[in-house]
Amino acid sequence: MTVWRQLPTDPPTWVNKYIHIPYADRQSMMTAADCWGLIELMFRQEAGIELPKYPEAGVLGWHNGDDKVAIAEAIKRHAGERPWVRLEDDAKHKLWDVLWLRSAGRTAHTALVVAKGVVIHTDDNLGESCLAKYRHVNFAYKLVGTYRHEAFINA
């Protein structure tokens, strides 16, 4: 597992195999994933970490349109609980930081920081996972909070 104290401008090479994974609700596989499923997949395969399940929202980030309210409520309820530590708004992001993002007025989307100013994410509008510059004016989501898994706090 690689953790940088300062992010490189390009993602690590292992990220490439997670680009272009087709979007599918409630999936966390190399053949299909949704936004949280993609993060869960990378944590499991690249960092060896199983992320917790959040039953009231299926799995946090998994939805089928009407579930976005449940996801937003689950994020509020579980944000900052172990194993997650909320970072200050001006914190420098590191590889493995999870961004909670707002879309259509609800905090119901997640993305994973993979390089300086770059995340990997997916949603039903994109149709597949991709890299995005999350600080760019054209990024369609608003950053609500940044969370770091406790395994990476002192890394």
Task: Give residue-wise pLDDT tens across range 12-52.
Answer: 999 999 999 999 987 889 999 988 889 999 999 999 999 87
Domain that holds residue 41: 14-152
3 domain-assigned: no
Q: Which residue has the tokens 């999870």?
A: 98
Q: Do 47 and 1 form a contact (C-beta atoms < 8 A)?
A: yes
**Comparison of pLDDT for 137 and 27, the residue scoring more:** 27
Q: Is 54 left (phi over 0), alpha (psi -120 to 50) or beta?
A: beta
107 domain-assigned: yes
7 domain-assigned: no
Cβ contacts of residue 45 below 8 Å, gap of 6+? none
**DSSP 8-state secondary structure symbol assigned to residue 24:** -
What pLDDT, on a 0 to 100 scale, did the predictor assign at position 43?
95
2 domain-assigned: no
Domain count, the chain: 1
Residue 59, pLDDT above cutoff 50: no
87 domain-assigned: yes
Mean pLDDT of 55-82: 57
Q: Do 152 and 94 form a contact (C-beta atoms < 8 A)?
A: yes
pLDDT digit string, tens, across residues 75-130? 666 666 778 888 887 778 999 999 988 877 777 788 999 998 899 999 888 899 99
State the maximum Cα–Cα separation within the chain, in Å, rounded to a whole number.
Answer: 39
Between CA 32 and CA 22 the distance in angstroms is: 5
Helix (H) and strand (E) counts for the chain?
2, 8
* CATH number for the domain that contains residue 45: 3.90.1720.10
6 domain-assigned: no
Between CA 138 and CA 27 the distance in angstroms is: 27
Nearest-5° Cα angle at 91, 108 to 28: 35
140 domain-assigned: yes
What pLDDT, on a 0 to 100 scale, did the predictor assign at position 68?
56
26 domain-assigned: yes
Q: Where are the beta strands (DSSP E) in 37-133?
A: 84-86, 98-103, 106-115, 118-121, 130-133
1 pLDDT tier (thresholds 50, 70, 90): very low
**Comparison of pLDDT for 27 and 71, the residue scoring more:** 27
Residue 135, pLDDT above cutoff 60: yes
**DSSP 8-state secondary structure symbol assigned to residue 45:** I
72 pLDDT tier (thresholds 50, 70, 90): low
